Structures are given as C-alpha cells and as structure tokens.
Structure 1
C-alpha cells in the first residue's frame, strides 16, 4: 500500500522559524505535503511503488513538471509527477480547497487554547498575507456553537447522579458598551458507575437564589433526578436554591473552604497545633468521632478569647461540613475536598486570563463550553473511576 512519505527541508523551516517568517514556513510545509501527496497519487494510479515489480502495473513513471498553485498563503511551486502515457492527473489542483477547512479548524483550536480574537486575527493575517476582519474570525469561532448548544441541552436521564458538585466563578463580559461581571455556573455530577460528568453550565448574572434556582431547574428539565448530596460552598442564595429545587437532598459544605474560614480568624502565631486538630476533626471517619473531637476541642479553647470567633464559626457550620461522613468511607476524600472543582476552575481561568474581556456572553459560552466538553470526554474515555470503591 502506498504511504505518504514526507521529507522536510529542515534548513528552510529552521530559518523560517528563527526569523519568525510564518509565511515562508507555511509555504515550505505546504510544498512538502503537496509534493508527497502527489507521489502517493501517482503510485496508486500506476498500482506499483517505485522500483516495485508487479503484474498489476498499468503505467511507468516519467519524471516531473513544475506548476504554481495559488493558496491563501501565497503562490507555491510544486513538482507534479508524470507518467509515460500522460494519463495520470492529480486531484491536488481541484481539491486543495479542502485544506482551507483544516485551516479553519486550526483557528478554532487556537481559540479553544485561549488565543484572543485579536491575536487570532494577527496570525490569520500572517498566514494569508492580507488583512482580515474580526467578523471573519468570529464566523470561524461560531462553527462551535451547535456543538456547545447540543452539549448544554443533552438529556441527563441516562443516570442517577448521586453526588452533584456545583460552583460559580466570575468573568468579565462587554455588555451595552460596558464591561460587566458575569457568573459562570458549573455542575459536575458523579454517575452510576462512579465517573464524573459535566451535567451543565450557564453564564448569567451574579450569584443569587433566583439564578441558582433557574440553573437547577434547567438541569431538572433535562432529566436530572434529585441527587443524594450536593457539595458546594456556603453561598446563601445557593443554599436556598438547593433546598427549594432539590427537596430532601443533603447539602455538604466544602470542608476546605470551611477550614480556611475558621483559620482566618485564629491567631496568626502559635496556633499550629490548633489548626492541626481542626483538620482532624473535619476528616474523622464517622460523625460520632468528629463530634467527640469537636467537644474536646471546644473544652480546650473555650476560655481563650483569641479563639472565640473561630469556635463560633466551627459550631455554626459544623453539621453541614460532616454530612459526607454518612457516605462510604472510601468516598470521603473525594466528597469533602474541592480538588475536582478547583481543577476545572484553574483550566478555565488559565484561558480566561488570555481572553481578558469577552466580547459577549456567546463568546464566553463558546470558550468555556469547549473546555468543559473536553474535560467531559476525557472523563468518559478514562477507564479509571472518580470514586474508588
């Protein structure tokens, strides 16, 4: 079978890269790929590779002729293979436009990786050798919209999501010629086979009970059943929305955030042991053990005014922070920590910093949705489960 053998002109490529001549580099690559492709075409037409003896051979090689091909990156000179009969015809000059589709997909890939519209426009200009409008780049980006919308609207009835992690982060978006803050709501579920899924996301106004309720109701309308437990921070509006939409669901407060809130009001010096014991309390294997440790902790510190506020915060949020202990012990470390959620946030923020200010909500949903779909598919294809039995 004929194979595509590509021999790169490394000297030309190296010089192009070192001199930051994107146009020359792309031309050199295009020439290499097209020439190699046409060699394969001729082998297939002849039904024999170079120097191969076969009864199926239908023609003989007869050198090359040169021909220019005009691409978006400019004119390139190709070596077109010939056969003795003169009947071989390459498809390159008729079908090279298909390469433009790969170029478009490449631009989309750059957007997903966090390259801003302005930078993409600059790169397009370098590759094409001419000016392009921002609307051209926007049109390319919008090819992602059907995929994002399908992901946002997909059914959730295929599984009973026992555990649901929810969180919100903030981004900047242009709206009515102003830069405003918008919240990105993200829900991550654990399905019947203990794997994670992105069950939904939404870009909307700042966190309120109404916004969270709308987000949860959308998940319900897509088939999400009432989860056993929702894990989140202690935002007041979020807590109310959980009680309202998911009646009977247990709310588990992120222990990491809870511990940090308590430590923030502790003495900065000479409190290392107290912090260590606090973590042990909230990482106990059972609720009974945690309550016993808490009681001893309070007895030890109740007469020290430096810890009055810390003990008050601990007491007020204690029961909500130990709900995970009702679940199988093997799941505890995953249910009490924010590692999974924080990883998502970091990946979104890493790309968000490049964008800076989104031109509109659709642009934000396009980029953030692409990142979340990528995570979702990786989790789906990974044989390892999130919760280890």
Structure 2
C-alpha cells in the first residue's frame, strides 16, 4: 500500500502568515494605547479609585496603513480628560515607512496611477488624490532641499548639457530647456551638481545656471565639457574662467560625418577615430592635420574645414592624465542622466507649470545620485596631483 501523499498549499500558508503578522502588529499599538489611557486616568478598566480624574467612554476606531497591511486602531475615549496619544500622530493614516516607500516609488519614476495600484496590492489600501498631492508636496520639499544643498567637495571635471520638454508658459505650450550638470568630485564619484529650467539655452540662462553651483560652493573645476554651443562656451569663460572648455568628441565626429556622403562615412569615421587614438596632444593635432588633408583630397572640403575648426577644443582632454581620457573625452556621464530624465518626462507629455516640471526633472537625478551609481568610483582623481 502506497504512503499517503501530503499536499502543501503554499499560497494559503503565505496568507495565514501575512494575517498573523498583521494581527500581531494591530494588537501591539492597541495594547500600548490602553496602557497609555490607564496611566492618564491612574486606574485600570472598571476600577474605581478616589484619585482618578476621568473615566473611559468607549473607543474611536481609526484605520492605519502599516507595512504589514491595513490595521484598525482602537483609540480610547476619555470623559473628563482629553486623550492625546504619542503612539500615533493625530490624523495620520499611514506609517512613515509606507509614505517614504510611496515617495521613493514616485521619485523612481512610477506613475501616480501605478502607485495607487501597488499600494492596494501591498498594503490593502488605496491612495486618494488628496493623499497623493500631499505626498508630492513632501517629495518636492525633499527635492528642493537637495537642489539647494551646499557643495562641499571640489569637482575637477564637470559635464553640462541641456534637453527640451514641453510645458505651459505664458498661456501657451512651449519647448523649454532643462539644464543639468554632473561632476566627478574629489572622491572620484559622480555627483549631480544641479538641475534648473530656462526658456532657452541662451547665454543668460547658462550664466545663471552655472552661477548657482558656484554660489553653493562649487570649486576646483579644471575642465567643463559640453556640446558646441556658443552661449555655453561664453558663459563658462565668464563664470568659471579657470576651467578649460571641452567639446564632446562624439558630437564633433557626428558634425563631421554629417558633411560626408554615406558611401564614404565608414572611411571617414575610421580616420576620425585615429585622431583620438594618439598618445599626446601634439600627435593628435598632427594626425588631425593629415585627416583634413585627406578629406580635401576626397573632395570633402566642408568636412575638412569642420575638422580644422573644431579639433582644438575637442582635444582639451589630452591636458589631463591619460587614464582619464576614456572617461572625459565624451559626454557619456551626463548623456546617461539625460536619458533617465527623458524616460521619466516622456510619460507626462506636457507639464502644466514650471514647478511640476522642475520637480519631476530634479527628482530623477536625485534618485540616481542616491543609488549605487552615485557611490561608484568613476575616476581616480589622485592622478591630477601627480
């Protein structure tokens, strides 16, 4: 005779354990509330003493969303004395950990509707529109405090760039610029220096944007990297005169290849790559001169002129240690951040005002900076002192 088969319902067991944890969490604060009420009236339930100053008058039930689920609190009501408990704040409907989790989900890019669904699944309670608005207000305060924080560490390498998004401006929907800056600080880690909004990437907007980090303590900037924008280069020379300006090598190559026919782009790309494969600034400049001459021989005068005009500012990275070249000759550090911002803002489409746009744009860099990416070493800054 075969042995009996034992079956195990894993889903039912998990449900029972979840309910056991929830019931335990519910019983603990209720017991504490009863103890606190007893200490106030100096008597236990149904006890008659001369010293008591109040008596019990039932309970007031309140719902509280905890990490273990929805629990029911039975707050004692006292006759002759006001009961103000220190265990649960007045009008609080969610644990602090639950609110922090919702804010982190919002900063991580989860849409508000999805947060409502997730809260229903995890904690058994949905989030109303008013509660979501209050949480967004707390998130904005945290983001605004992060944006205005003092910069205590020097940043030898700074990467800046701007992207565009749609928002309501003066009664019409306009494309507005969002400027971001990220730097390699004294520890060699990437640090988001700032993010701000402007009407356009004009000289005035770039000047104001770069002046804010400097006023918050930005120091030690030796090189500022960006694309070829005359307004940006002029603002860098004015606000950070000691920092050298470097044009992104990828943007430079794209500009040159845009003036080359498709049939010859492969050959031209290999020639441009050889410029950045040299061992020194002098060798790279000599190779660039040879490449320009070859492009002239291929009847690509426009591409040759682009190489001669833009190679000097593109090779600024060769002034620094060779082990830094691969990291600092392109704008990959900030392009990755821009991609995160675009991914988060694309789901919104058009923003109603500047506050909502700036909060969502700045919230994404804050989340990236607080994650492992912000603590990972990007450069060996000690090489700059050799």
Give the structure-1-normalised TM-score.
0.73
Is the aligned partner of 1:211 residue 2:212? no
Q: 1: distance between equivalents of 2:214 and 2:88?
A: 51
Relative distance call for 1:379 and 1:287 in structure 2 (3 A) is: farther
Deviation at 1:242, TM superposition (A): 0.9
Superposed CA RMSD in Å reads 3.8
Structure-2 residue corresponding to 1:342 = 335
Q: 2: distance between equivalents of 1:364 and 1:116?
A: 14
Which deviates more, 170-179 or 268-277?
170-179
2:140 to 142, 145, 150: 145
> Which string of whole-angstrom CA distances, capped at 9 and with x for unpartnered residues, describes residues 85-140 of structure 1?
xxxxxx9x97895645444334323322324446556777996579x44x542221
> Which string of whole-angstrom CA distances, capped at 9 and with x for unpartnered residues, describes residues 280-321 of structure 1?
10342211111221222223232332x111111111111000
Is the aligned partner of 1:250 residue 2:244? yes
2:345 to 337, 352, 361: 352
Deviation at 1:277, TM superposition (A): 1.5
Structure-2 residue corresponding to 1:240 = 234
Relative distance call for 1:129 and 1:233 in structure 2 (3 A) is: closer
Query: What does residue range 51-62 of structure 1 map to in structure 2 within 5 Å?
Result: none
Q: Which runs of no fewer than 5 residues in structure 1 stay unpaired?
A: 1-7, 15-27, 45-68, 81-90
> Which string of whole-angstrom CA distances, capped at 9 and with x for unpartnered residues, describes residues 311-364 of structure 1?
111111110000100110000011102221111111111111222222322222
Structure-2 residue corresponding to 1:35 = 23
> Which string of whole-angstrom CA distances, capped at 9 and with x for unpartnered residues, describes residues 152-181 of structure 1?
22222x233211111111122234553222
SS of aligned partner of 1:371: helix
- Answer yes or no: is the 8 Å Cα contact 2:341–2:364 preserved in 1: yes
- Answer yes or no: is the 8 Å Cα contact 2:109–2:364 preserved in 1: no
Q: 1: distance between equivalents of 2:333 and 2:106?
A: 24
Structure-1 residue corresponding to 2:49 = none
Give the structure-2-normalised TM-score.
0.73
SS of aligned partner of 2:168: strand
Deviation at 1:223, TM superposition (A): 1.8
Structure-2 residue corresponding to 1:277 = 271
Structure-1 residue corresponding to 2:314 = 321
Q: Which runs of no fewer than 5 residues in structure 2 stay unpaired?
A: 1-8, 33-60, 75-84
Structure-1 residue corresponding to 2:167 = 173
Structure-2 residue corresponding to 1:50 = none
Is the aligned partner of 1:220 residue 2:221? no
Structure-1 residue corresponding to 2:106 = 111
- Answer yes or no: is the 8 Å Cα contact 1:195–1:379 preserved in 2: no
Relative distance call for 1:97 and 1:9 in structure 2 (3 A) is: farther
Query: What does residue range 29-178 of structure 1 map to in structure 2 within 5 Å?
Result: 31-37=19-25, 71=63, 97=92, 99-117=94-112, 120=115, 128=125, 132-133=128-129, 135-156=130-151, 158-178=152-172
Is the aligned partner of 1:332 residue 2:325? yes
SS of aligned partner of 1:234: coil
Structure-1 residue corresponding to 2:48 = none
Relative distance call for 1:245 and 1:295 in structure 2 (3 A) is: same
Deviation at 1:9, TM superposition (A): 7.2
- Answer yes or no: is the 8 Å Cα contact 2:281–2:315 preserved in 1: yes
Relative distance call for 1:29 and 1:349 in structure 2 (3 A) is: farther
Relative distance call for 1:277 and 1:102 in structure 2 (3 A) is: same
- Answer yes or no: is the 8 Å Cα contact 1:111–1:367 preserved in 2: no
- Answer yes or no: is the 8 Å Cα contact 1:228–1:249 preserved in 2: yes
